[in-house]
Structure 1
Amino acid sequence: MLNTVAPVWDGNETFMVLGGAALYGAFPVVYSTLLPANYMPLVLMLAGLIFRGAAFELRSKATRTQHLWDLAFIGGSALATFCQGVVLGSLLQGIHIVDDKFAGAPFDWLSPFSIFCGLGLLVTYATLGCGWLIIKTEGELQKAMYSLMKPITGVLLLVILAISIWTVLGQPAIAQRWFGGHNLIWFAPVPVLVLASAWGIFRAVNKQHEHVPFRLGLFMLFLGYSGFIISIWPNIIPPSLTIWQAAANPKSQLFILVGTAIVLPIILVYSYLQYHVFRGKVRENDPGYH
């Protein structure tokens, strides 16, 4: 399992650095509000990423403590994912802002809804991981992932349904944004496409089409974030800070745009190369992070 992601995980984190830097340059007010509102989950997320990265390198060198680094990898990955979901949940439920500054309490992020979003993101990423391993492995491991793909997709559908209902009942402004005016035209295809993607995953598993479950899982994740954007638009920090209020001055935005236009194609090219070069199956006796 580690060998399937070993060639690409380091490069993937470049997108986190690019996104964080671009957000700071283009929307500095978001940093001054989102970070104070979510210091603890964000710090814990970084700690999880540190444990996961260290486990990659140190596990291969360890002898007696290898199982402990396995636990560090599992725990770090789960912690980073859970905290990311908590932050998304706290953002969706709204952050108290006064004069473009965070004015809430230190633990406003901690709520049943944000905790459930954290658990929901664990299910989401587990679904993607299951689809990825179907592509990259064979034999008993692939067979186990085929068996897991359908039930975990079903759980993901239940999570999406629960979060959607919870959001509508708990956030009247978002409910109005979903179903009021012309927004319904944009929102209506999302649940239909989610159900169609889940049906496609079930069908692909039955026919053992290796690449389809992962691709449709990615599409479901894209639909989830599309629904998220529709829910808060035009706010970037709901319920009151719009994308226009949070934007940096035009000169800063132009600087970020030029930098992104240079860096992003480079990242996309080497990302394509690493996935292309290391395409195909990964087998148990292949060299790597054993």
Structure 2
Amino acid sequence: MKHVDTAQVQKKMNARLLTNTLAKILFLLSTLFGLIVLVILLYRVISDGLNWINFDFLTGKLSTQPERAGIMGAILGTFWLMVVVGPVTMFLGVGTAIYLELYAKKGRLQSFIQTNIANLAGVPSIVYGILGMTIFVRALDFGNIVLAGGLTMSLLVLPIVVVASQEAIRAVPQHLSEASYGMGATKWQTIKKILLPAALPGILTGAILSLSRAIGETAPLVVIGIPALLIPFPGNIMDKFTVLPMQIYYWTLDSALTAEYANLAAATIVVLLIVLFVLNATAIIIRNKFQKKY
């Protein structure tokens, strides 16, 4: 029987424990670093912008005078942008996911489409801005209106909705659809009555989180030429518009002229963060509600 060197084994064990402790400390410091930076950022933004948030700021028009500037135009522009992005991404994204998961034959074509959708989710957002400018602004001659911006942002977040919807459909237990087929239901009846309701929490969560990303994106809108000028409030999807991230971007540039523009940008960031927090909270509530129901 081979002799076991107890001291050598103990030495190796101590080395492993030391490595494990060092790894824990390293990961903890990494987490704390990110949290500290986030807290500092939030503190600076809230302290600089909170005093500027009032009724006049939320309901007023853009102005060349910082003390009279408001963001109602940007809020309405963001709303109308989501009116376009929401239905387009839900219809195309969920439809694509249903086709790929339940109708498309497993093979090279399906694998090719699936791989490219996953790759599109990682494409830089400015590339979608160039695509939107080429197709919607120039080829279709929409100009820099809400419809062009909404369709461009839909291209940006569509892969996210497709992937999230596919994962939600895959998570539905297979015995539910088999039971439906056993009762004589057609494939579409099974999808409509069984699969989609059961997958709805995951689909809605992915859709709302994708809308959160669309609300916070600036680069595609800069490329297609969305202005941040003294324009009238947008009233429909055919009007020119601006959005909250665009206004933050331009006020940040103007902050080199006077510090008041930096305060306006900080106040707009606070409003945008509140909108994003509300959307994320809504996603969590919807997910929990439908998970209990189904």
TM-score with structure 1 length normalisation?
0.29
TM-score with structure 2 length normalisation?
0.29
Greater C-alpha Rg: 2
